[in-house]
């Protein structure tokens, strides 16, 4: 008869599937005691190899805290690698032969889809990865230490999903091992799961830019959606009052040159689009990690230069439009008005481009989500500047 101490030693020296087999015949209480002496993630791996009935029986015999720890990835935030982690199935010891490993895989593949095998020592430290092609072509008597890949890329469970995606994006592995700081194998995360989770975050950016929270879905109740959206609409309304105040300050200019009112939406829309382009590029750079520390100044300069060039080009078209409109309505200040439109377009596009880059950078520096309602703040900046510059120049030059 196997004593608990010898059973514990046997389990520690075995791969998870062999350990599960060794515990099959032991009483549930004794198996639970053995598992309590193991690393919680190793215990989770062993339980994962058992039948549902046997697993439930052992969990029922174990303390509630231990059972919960074995079956959950506790302690990891929702946007971390550990939150997506699943127990590894094909875990082996380096002394096992190719023949023994293939026989074990025949059984394991009936329970789970296996992409790679993992080689660990008795402390569960990850030593190498087994690629199925190399395993099938290896000599039956070779040990796993001879056919495994020793240089393993692994993720840490605390790593945010965004950082994990940046590290994994150029590797294209279907599965990534997850290890702690000591190199112990804790679990696996599938590449598809990792990128799907991050895709949800990225898809939420468009909504965040206008105050729609990432938690909101098509099935979100009306009352909850109202709580998410309405505060940002109130803020947007307040910023609109600022733009309206700018226009009101130049009411005497509009009364004198009514034709100016027709071009206020043109300037506002064009400068807004320029700012949104800069905002989209900046958010993409922040999300994908393209924006390195120290690159902020060059980014702002680039967007300002693009605003200058785009403003000069579209300003010519807008100026011709103003000149033609003034000629049609018989306004004698066509050339002056065209110059006002061109200068206003140039200044507005420069400020819009710089604002589109600076707003998310400023939000990030303050520790806030760069995408959060950035479009609302950008719209305020572009409207105030474009209308203010346009009406100021008109007051002076016309």
Tokens of 95: 């002394």
Q: Would you list the domain boundaries of the chain?
A: 4-71, 81-200, 246-397
pLDDT at 263: 78
Query: Are the C-beta atoms of 236 and 211 separated by less than 8 Å?
Result: yes
One digit per residue, the tens of pLDDT, for the chain of length 398 reads: 455 677 878 877 777 778 888 888 788 888 888 888 877 767 777 887 787 677 767 876 777 667 666 655 455 776 788 877 877 878 899 999 999 999 888 888 877 778 899 999 888 899 999 998 888 888 999 999 999 999 889 999 888 887 888 787 777 788 999 998 889 888 888 887 777 655 545 544 444 444 444 555 556 677 777 777 777 778 777 877 887 887 788 777 777 777 777 778 888 888 888 888 888 888 777 766 677 778 888 889 999 999 999 999 998 998 998 899 888 888 888 888 889 889 999 999 999 999 888 888 887 787 766 665 677 778 778 888 888 888 888 888 77
Please name the residues in contact with 395: beta carbons below 8 A apart, sequence gap of 6 or more. Answer: 250, 253
Q: How many helices (H) and strands (E) does the chain have?
A: 19, 5
pLDDT at 210: 45
* CA separation for the pair 227, 229 (Å, rounded): 6
81-200: which CATH topology? CBS-domain (3.10.580)
31 in helix, strand or coil?
A: helix
0.95 exceeded by pTM: no
- Burial (CB count within 10 angstroms: exposed 0-12, middle 13-18, buried 19+), residue 61: middle
246-397: which CATH topology? Tetracycline Repressor; domain 2 (1.10.357)
Query: Are the C-beta atoms of 84 and 194 separated by less than 8 Å?
Result: yes
């Amino acid at each position: 008869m196997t004593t608990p101490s010898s059973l514990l030693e046997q389990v520690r020296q075995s791969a998870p599937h062999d350990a599960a087999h060794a515990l099959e015949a032991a009483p549930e209480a004794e198996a639970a005691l053995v598992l309590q002496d193991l690393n919680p993630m190793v215990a989770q791996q062993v339980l994962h190899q058992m039948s549902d009935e046997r697993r439930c029986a052992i969990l029922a015999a174990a303390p509630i805290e231990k059972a919960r720890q074995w079956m959950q990835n506790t302690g990891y935030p929702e946007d971390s690698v550990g939150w997506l982690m699943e127990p590894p199935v094909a875990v082996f010891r380096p002394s096992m032969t190719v023949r023994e490993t293939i026989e074990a895989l025949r059984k394991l593949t009936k329970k789970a889809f296996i992409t790679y095998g993992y080689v660990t020592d008795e402390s569960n430290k990850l030593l190498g990865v087994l690629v199925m092609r190399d395993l099938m072509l290896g000599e039956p008597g070779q040990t796993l230490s001879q056919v495994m890949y020793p240089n393993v890329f692994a993720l840490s469970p605390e790593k945010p999903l965004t950082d994990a995606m940046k590290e994994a994006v150029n590797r294209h592995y279907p599965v990534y091992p997850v290890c702690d700081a000591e190199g112990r194998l804790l679990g696996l995360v599938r590449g598809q799961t990792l990128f799907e989770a991050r895709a949800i975050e990225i898809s939420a950016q468009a909504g965040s830019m206008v105050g729609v929270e990432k938690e909101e879905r098509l099935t979100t109740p009306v009352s909850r959606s109202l709580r998410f959206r309405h505060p940002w609409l109130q803020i947007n309304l307040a910023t609109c009052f600022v733009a309206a105040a700018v226009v009101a300050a130049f009411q005497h200019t509009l009364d004198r040159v009514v034709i100016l009112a027709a071009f206020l939406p043109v300037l506002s829309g064009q400068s807004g689009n320029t700012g949104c382009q800069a905002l989209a590029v900046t958010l993409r750079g922040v999300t994908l990690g393209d924006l390195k520390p120290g690159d902020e100044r060059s980014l702002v300069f680039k967007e300002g230069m693009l605003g200058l060039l785009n403003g000069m080009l579209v300003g010519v078209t807008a100026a011709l439009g103003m000149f033609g409109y003034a000629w049609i309505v018989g306004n004698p200040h066509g050339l002056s008005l065209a110059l006002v439109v061109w200068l206003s377009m140039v200044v507005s596009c420069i400020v819009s481009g710089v604002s589109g880059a600076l707003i998310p950078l400023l939000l990030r520096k303050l520790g806030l989500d760069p995408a959060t309602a950035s479009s609302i703040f950008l719209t305020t900046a572009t409207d105030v500047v474009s209308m203010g510059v346009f009406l100021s120049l008109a007051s002076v030059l016309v």
